[in-house]
Amino acid sequence: MKKNLLGNTGLEVTELCFGVLPMGPNQFGLPPDEGGDLIAEGIMSGINFLDTAQSYSTYPHIKNALDKVGSKKYDLVIATKSSAVTYSDMAQAVEEARQSLDRDVIDIFHLHAARVDSKVFEERKGAIDCLIDCKYKGIIRAIGISTHSVDVVRAAKNVSEIDVIFPLINVAGLGILHGTRDEMAQAIQEAASKGKGVYAMKALGGGNLLSDREGAINYVRSLDGVSSVAIGMVNKEELEMNLRIFEGDQVPEDLAEKTAHSKKLIIQDFCRGCGSCVDVCPNMAMKVVNGKAVNDKEKCILCGYCAPVCPEFAIRLV
């Protein structure tokens, strides 16, 4: 599979990045052993880039895969993230990742900042200072920011400490904050021209763009400055489908049909309308109406961030 250098980081990553969010408890809830099997198959098929986060609760899945393949045999790049604000909380997050993944060095560690605006660099200065120190100590290789915001991408290109940007972009412009699809594409190009490594999320709009999967993926692949595209996968059919697309192989009709299903967000009747989902939703797609949570399907990108914060376990992605 084609590999690209990720900006000035020195990291070489496959064009297809294995997004590990959907297999975790936030979404499909695959057991670590089952998820580990799928990740291991992806690695042995040529993928060297994995993306996860502290809040995804998928470190056990990745560790299981690493144990299966013998990680030293593969030149793997692992990116994770934390929404930590303070120095001490970020230090704990970095150590959790190192211990859980049994890796002395984490390749990319992001500020997990999906919903926030460009003030994030001031508001999370403690967390950034921690990542700077961790990079100096050699326990992370690159500092990144994960964002849905055009403004944050624009600001990040001028923050010398930021090595990698992980923005949301797709052909329909679903989920983009503080700007349009074309403005995000321009911001990505400008950031890459300054040496930032850029890889993209939500090329399929959380499953909303599956009717033309190849077109949606190839739009993001074609963007100037994008080195890799993170796509979530939860079964062998999805893995095979994406491998075929990225390797330029023809997709059999039966495989396309098997992977054409979209995810759905279900809010169950026992929701008590506490609003926790509203607070965490990165795209303002949740609100409370008459004491119950309601999902705006036009804004929702099916990211699953709402499910784990629901104290009643009333929200599910299926």
Would you say residue 184 has pLDDT above 70? yes
Hey, what are 96's tokens?
């959790």
Query: Would you give the DSSP letter of residue 102?
Result: T
pLDDT digits (tens, 9 = 90+) for 24-45: 987 888 999 999 999 999 999 9
- CA 83 to each of CA 99, 111, 118, 124, 214: distance values in angstroms, whole numbers, following the listed order: 18, 6, 15, 9, 32
pLDDT digits (tens, 9 = 90+) for 142-170: 999 999 999 999 999 999 999 999 999 99
pLDDT category at 107 given cuts 50, 70, 90 is very high
Q: Where is pLDDT greater, at 275 or 257? A: 275
Provide CB contacts within 8 A for 275, sequence distance 6+: 288, 293
Mean residue pLDDT of the chain comes to 92
* The listed CATH number (3.40.50.2000, 3.40.630.190, 3.20.20.10, 3.20.20.100) that belongs to domain 3-258: 3.20.20.100
Give the CATH fold of the 265-317 domain.
Alpha-Beta Plaits (3.30.70)
Share of the chain above pLDDT 70, in %: 97
Residue 198 CA to residue 154 CA, distance in Å, equals 12
| φ, ψ (nearest 5 deg) of residue 141 | -95, -35
| φ, ψ (nearest 5 deg) of residue 91 | -60, -40
Residue 84 CA to residue 141 CA, distance in Å, equals 18
The pLDDT score that the predictor gives to residue 287 is 93
Share of the chain above pLDDT 90, in %: 75
pLDDT digits (tens, 9 = 90+) for 186-231: 999 999 999 999 999 999 988 778 888 899 999 999 999 999 999 9
Domain map (residue ranges) of the chain: 3-258, 265-317
The pTM (predicted TM-score) of the whole model is 0.89
